[in-house]
Amino acid sequence: MITVIEQLLTRDEVEQFRAKLAKADWIDGAQSAGTRSVAVKQNQQLDRADKLGKQLGEMILRKLGNNAQFVSASLAEKIWPPAFNLYQNGGHYGTHSDAALMRLPESGLTIRSDLSATLFLSEPDEYDGGELLIEEQFGAQAVKLAAGDMLLYPSSSLHQVTPVTRGQRICAITWMQSAVADGAAREMLYDLDQSIQALSLDRPKDDPDIDRLVHVYHNLLRRWATV
């Protein structure tokens, strides 16, 4: 399932991020690539220990924790500390898949990557190319969102970032382990939760039909969760 989280960051927050990142110490992105990915990765990134990257990453994590759509779509149990990357002058990331298990030795964190996320920090008209191309069952989907919007997509998918031929494409990326490992089950729970929320708007808080749907939702979650 591919899900767009609109305006995770407000316009003012995006501007604050961009102003700080304009002074950042970018390094060669190949340093964090795997043995096969290094051959197709050409970008820049902030070092994992970079203080600015950690500060901005913590802000993103707080926003995610308060975003009802993200919580519903991901059912995230563990989230990788957000990282920041920059593509320019033909920079790209060829077709690859994300590692199934990701380890952060300094914090003892290990996650199973169920979902990947890209938070766009550059407006689409600021750069040419740079589409996030995700291969799905019925073909490839190219995504280029407004600054402040985030895309959630399966970590198991093959994907790439096409070459940036003009301007700069700046994004934050992260991965998460879901409490529900099965993608199809997670999608059904998301659809059910979104329907419950929509139906609840015009009904009293003690509506028995809504209560029954909530009961079904939690029993399904109880059945499928792996925690």
Task: Give residue 224's pLDDT band: very low, low, confident or very high (50, 70, 90).
Answer: very high
pLDDT in tens, 162-204: 999 999 999 999 999 999 999 999 999 999 999 999 999 989 9
Known binder of ligand: residue 169? Answer: yes
Q: Where are the beta strands (DSSP E) in 19-64?
A: 26-28, 41-42, 44-46
- Where are the domains positioned within the chain? 3-178, 183-224
Q: CA-to-CA distance for 129 and 169, rounded, in angstroms?
A: 9
Phi and psi at 110, nearest 5°, equal -130, 130
Q: Where are the beta strands (DSSP E) in 64-207?
A: 76-79, 83-87, 92-96, 101-104, 109-112, 115-120, 128-129, 132-136, 139-143, 150-154, 159-161, 164-166, 169-178
Q: CA-to-CA distance for 226 and 69, rounded, in angstroms?
A: 21
Domain 183-224 has CATH 1.10.10: no
Angle subtended by helix axes 208-224 and 183-200, to nearest 10: 160
pLDDT (mean) for 56-74: 97
Known binder of ligand: residue 92? Answer: no
Question: Does residue 61 register a pLDDT over 90?
Answer: yes
HSE (side-chain half, CA atoms, 13 Å) at 63: 19
Question: Does residue 39 register a pLDDT over 70?
Answer: no
Tokens of 102: 């990701």
Q: Which residues pair with 38 in a beta bridge?
A: none
Separate counts of helices (H) and strands (E) for the chain = 5, 17
What mean pLDDT, rounded, does the chain reach? 94
pLDDT (mean) for 46-60: 96
Matching CATH number, 3-178, of 3.40.50.10490, 3.30.750.24, 2.60.120.620, 3.30.2320.50: 2.60.120.620
Residue scoring higher pLDDT (39 or 97): 97
Question: Poorest-confidence range of 25-29, 32-36, 164-168?
Answer: 32-36
Asked if 44 contacts 189 with a C-beta cutoff of 8 angstroms, the reply is no
pLDDT (mean) for 3-9: 97
Question: Does residue 36 register a pLDDT over 60?
Answer: no
pLDDT in tens, 100-146: 999 998 888 899 999 999 999 999 999 999 999 999 877 888 999 99
Known binder of ligand: residue 159? Answer: yes
What pLDDT is stored for residue 33 in this prediction?
58
Q: CA-to-CA distance for 197 and 221, rounded, in angstroms?
A: 16
Known binder of ligand: residue 215? Answer: no
